[in-house]
Structure 1
Amino acid sequence: MSLFSDNIRNLRVKQKISQEKLAESLAITRGRYVKYEDGTSEAPYEILKKIAHYYHISIDLLLSVDVRKIPLDDLLQLENNRLVLPITVDRAGDNLIEVVTQKVKAGYLNGYADPEYIESLQQISLPFLGPGKHRGFPVEGDSMPPHEDGSIIVGRYVERLGDVKDGRTYILITKSEGMVYKRLNKNKKNILFVESDNSFYPVYEVKVSDILEIWEYECNIGRSDRKVEISETVSVKDMFLELKRDINDLKIKY
């Protein structure tokens, strides 16, 4: 039997639902449903979708995680049943912040929906962040100054794409690019424009269908205390502003 077969059987038994009743809810025969549960037939996408909606659980979890190990009541259910996000809490019931360190970053794409993986991450608490689900991610390279390589960006989970604000920075988890920290803009339907603050790196597009998670920037955890140098662009801008003020002063005097 497949993991999917085990999952749908365990969910049905746990909720004390008969095979006949579940088959009726899926608009299929009992005989057809039994084949999915005993693993002799694979369920097509439309049936997968119906089963996921019936149990209020994501297709990702049905196919890839042993649901017997998941405390379903502790999961965060998101819009349109797109994803169920594992969360961790402390003894007081407050959400903890899992930190995806550089060491475990490579496994996040496969483990982001796996409660066991999430529980294995280091955890911190930052009470000043307020409500919402937060998680920390490592920064790589020099594409987003002043955040340096090795810093940790703490983001708040974005449940709906419509909540993304143009010009704000986000941790973006995608199937093709993996984990990136960039500035986002929604200039096209079903497409995000992804931009680095370092102009050396070109802007590129990401399709909404490629996105697994989006986390909005909340704070930065870093170790550097280096002095930020004023760029030439800022210096030139300040020079023109000062020149403009001098010209206005001259106009007033004469």
Structure 2
Amino acid sequence: MKKTIFVVAICNKIHMTQFSDNIRFLRSQKGFSKQKLADALEIKAAAYTTYEDGRTEPPFSVLQRIARYYHISVDLLLSVDIRKVDIEKLLTLDDNRIVLPIAVDKNGENLIEIIPHKAKAGYLAGYSDPEYIESLQHISLPFLRNGKFRAFPIEGKSMPPFQDGSFIVGQYVEKAENIKDGHTYVMLTKEDGIVYKRVYRKGRRFMFHSDNPEFEPYEVKASDILEVWQFAFALIGKEYQPDNLPQDNMRDLLLDIKMDIKKLVSKIS
């Protein structure tokens, strides 16, 4: 049996009842009066009272201020009864913009969501939708702990030895500055969806390289990257065939030289 702690993506329309209940609960937890909280938020006490009573909706700037004051996401304030959530166990992203779903089993062990091949195309639309994430199957790998992990399907032959049917288990990376040159990552991008590449920095952009030199590297803007998952483990679904393995040392050497030349040309350009 599993349980899932999550919040949903930001809504276009504020759920006033839930929001009002949440900010009333948070204020009571701190033991603050409405006036004291309003002063901390730099708004009028009368205005704050209308938010807590559910009579008016706060402007987005005030909504952000409240979220930052309590160090929780706007999503959490709007959509989830936080009285039923252990906030300390939630994994937050940059700028309090969302909270990732975290699935655990009955013993509290972290479960790993598996993105199946047939659902790969839908991940770009569903990665921030808790209903989509909750519907995924899960596995548990006891040696992968202290982080948030997710398994992604691999297609094509751009990253040998991984072939169609393989899964890369990635550990969630919270900030772009934590990306290390030359390491491999599952990247979710606005243009290509899920890709598994070796990544290098290039100013405010990133170069995505395939380990198969037949595939050209390409450049991606940091603003086009939605999620980053660093390689943690691989699940290979097919056995190796002789044709999949290098035939001799000379071939390996030529492929390495070709890749080095491409990297050098890329840096020069």
Give the TM-score normalised by the residue count of structure 1. Answer: 0.75
Contact preservation (8 Å) 1:58, 1:82: yes
Measured after TM superposition, the shift of residue 19 of structure 1 is: 5.5
Aligned residues: 234
Contact preservation (8 Å) 1:36, 1:43: no
Match of 2:62 among 43, 47, 51: 47
1:64-122 deviation digits (Å, cap 9, x = unpaired): xx213873433113454354222111111111111111233344334434444332211
1:113-164 deviation digits (Å, cap 9, x = unpaired): 4444332211111112343221101112222222112321111111232321
Residue aligned with 1:154, SS = strand
Residue aligned with 2:104, SS = coil
Contact preservation (8 Å) 1:36, 1:42: no
Distance 1:146 1:39, change over 3 A: farther
Q: In structure 1, what residue type is equivalent to 2:113?
A: E
| Equivalent position of 1:194 in the other structure | 208
Contact preservation (8 Å) 1:60, 1:113: no
Match of 2:103 among 73, 79, 88: 88
1:199-239 deviation digits (Å, cap 9, x = unpaired): 3333222232333221111121122112333167843738x
Match of 1:229 among 241, 245, 251: 245
| Equivalent position of 1:10 in the other structure | 21
Q: Which runs of 5+ in 1 are unaligned?
A: 239-254
Q: Does 1:133 align with 2:133?
A: no
User: CA–CA distance in 1 between the matches of 2:45 and 2:124?
Assistant: 36
Match of 2:80 among 59, 67, 71: 67
Q: Which runs of 5+ in 2 are unaligned?
A: 1-11, 255-269
Give the TM-score normalised by the residue count of structure 2. Answer: 0.72
Measured after TM superposition, the shift of residue 30 of structure 1 is: 4.3
Q: In structure 1, what residue type is equivalent to 2:81?
A: R
Q: Does 1:208 align with 2:222?
A: yes
Residue aligned with 1:140, SS = coil
Residue aligned with 1:47, SS = helix
Residue aligned with 1:135, SS = strand
Residue aligned with 1:181, SS = strand
| Equivalent position of 1:171 in the other structure | 186
Residue aligned with 1:109, SS = helix
The percentage of counterpart residues that share the same residue type is 45
Q: In structure 2, what residue type is equivalent to 1:229?
A: L
Residue aligned with 1:15, SS = helix
Residue aligned with 2:161, SS = coil
Residue aligned with 2:102, SS = coil
* Max Rg structure: 1
Q: In structure 1, what residue type is equivalent to 2:43?
A: I
Contact preservation (8 Å) 2:23, 2:52: no
Contact preservation (8 Å) 1:191, 1:208: yes
User: CA–CA distance in 2 between the matches of 1:38 and 1:176?
Assistant: 40
Q: In structure 2, what residue type is equivalent to 1:3?
A: I
Q: In structure 2, what residue type is equivalent to 1:101?
A: P
Contact preservation (8 Å) 1:8, 1:37: no
User: CA–CA distance in 2 between the matches of 1:154 and 1:236?
Assistant: 27
Q: Which moved more, 1:99-108 or 1:74-83?
A: 74-83
C-alpha RMSD of matched pairs (Å): 3.2
Q: Which moved more, 1:195-204 or 1:85-94?
A: 195-204
Q: Which moved more, 1:52-61 or 1:127-136?
A: 52-61
